[in-house]
């Protein structure tokens, strides 16, 4: 890798990590701000890239992108209400009729393939808004207070991020060194089974370390979350790669120099959230 490219990637990764940690650990307001920015960025990129295969008139595509992003943000915020105001907990169900209302947008889109447009728009809500909204409910699982905020509450979120980063980093290193057997070469030519298992091993090692550092969750729970990070996270990465390959693009955006956009950074994280939530909810 070119030294300048490597330096750019490293610097942007350090800045990205610092912003993520500050947003997660500072207070509840920084957490809301961080997740809202991530949700908005992912939605904006998603509705931007799928517009290439939607049938809206060219002069209306930006308008539909803005409207769809706003609807997605409203759906995301409805899922945060039960956590931050228990008296409004029932309002999160309004996210459901909101999605049906979104279908009516197609009345203004013209006569061509409205069902395809609707399916792609609704996918963005289920793919991005709902998982990121579940992050706030994940905090609520570990607290009974009105504002569920103390360091232990964010352990599962912080730990999941660290496990995904460990898995991704060592999957890349292992795959670059010894990767020969490709997982899905038609979707992601660089991902190998050797890299996958190398990342999984490092995720498990990281889970063991997290169990000693963030000890509000048991070791066996961290190991389960590590398996989720390596397996489901890889599926999430492949899913976004599939979208980009079908649309003929390299990156979803350019928010992080050398790393791509919001979706490129959070594809694995978004896929993992519902599985971690379900596990911690049911255990």
The string of pLDDT tens digits covering residues 152-170 is: 567 788 889 999 999 998 9
The two tokens of residue 218 are 């048991």
Round to whole Å and give the CA distance between 41 and 279.
Answer: 27
> Does residue 124 carry a pLDDT above 50?
yes
Phi/psi of residue 256, each to 5°?
-115, 110
Provide the whole-model pTM: 0.85
For 184, residues 6+ apart whose C-beta sits below 8 A from its C-beta are 191, 238
Mean predicted confidence (pLDDT) in 182-190: 84
Q: What is the dihedral of CA 147, 151, 155, 158, to 10 degrees?
A: 100
Q: Which residues of 82-96 are buried (b: 16+ CB within 10 A; e: fewer)?
A: bbbeeeeeeebeebe
Label residue 87 by pLDDT band (50, 70, 90): very low
Per DSSP, helices labelled H in 51-85 are 61-84
What confidence tier does 132 reach under pLDDT thresholds 50, 70, 90? very high
DSSP letters along 188-257, please?
-TT-BHHHHHHHHHHHHHHHHHHHHHSTTS-HHHHHHHHHHHHHHHHHHHHHHHHHHHHHT-S-S--SBT
Q: Where are the domains of the chain?
A: 28-145, 149-283
Q: What is the mean pLDDT of the chain?
A: 81
Give the mean model confidence (pLDDT) for residues 69-80: 84
Residue 72 and residue 40: Cα distance in Å, rounded? 8
């Amino acid at each position: 890798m070119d030294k300048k490219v490597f330096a750019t990637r490293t610097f942007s990764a350090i800045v990205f990590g610092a912003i993520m940690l500050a947003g997660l650990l500072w207070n509840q307001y920084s957490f809301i701000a961080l997740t809202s920015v991530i949700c908005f960025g992912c939605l904006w990129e998603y509705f931007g890239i799928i517009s290439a295969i939607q049938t809206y008139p060219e002069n209306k595509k930006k308008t539909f992108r803005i409207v769809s992003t706003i609807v997605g943000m409203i759906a995301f915020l409805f899922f945060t209400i039960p956590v931050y105001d228990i008296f409004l907990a029932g309002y999160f169900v309004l996210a459901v009729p909101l999605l049906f209302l979104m279908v009516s947008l197609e009345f203004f889109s013209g006569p061509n393939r409205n069902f395809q447009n609707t399916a792609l728009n609704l996918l963005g809500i289920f793919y991005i808004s709902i998982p990121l909204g579940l992050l706030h409910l994940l905090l609520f699982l570990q607290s009974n207070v009105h504002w569920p905020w103390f360091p232990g509450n964010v352990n599962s979120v912080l730990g999941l991020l660290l496990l995904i980063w460990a898995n991704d980093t060592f999957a890349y290193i292992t795959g670059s060194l010894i990767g020969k057997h490709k997982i899905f070469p038609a979707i992601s030519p660089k991902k190998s089974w050797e890299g996958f298992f190398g990342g999984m091993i490092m995720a498990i090692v990281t889970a063991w370390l997290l169990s000693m550092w963030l000890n509000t969750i048991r070791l066996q729970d961290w190991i389960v979350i590590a398996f989720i990070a390596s397996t489901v996270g890889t599926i999430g990465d492949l899913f976004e790669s599939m979208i980009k390959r079908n649309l003929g693009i390299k990156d979803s955006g350019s928010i992080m120099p050398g790393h791509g956009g919001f979706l490129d950074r959070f594809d694995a994280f978004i896929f993992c959230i519902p599985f971690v939530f379900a596990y911690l909810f049911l255990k």
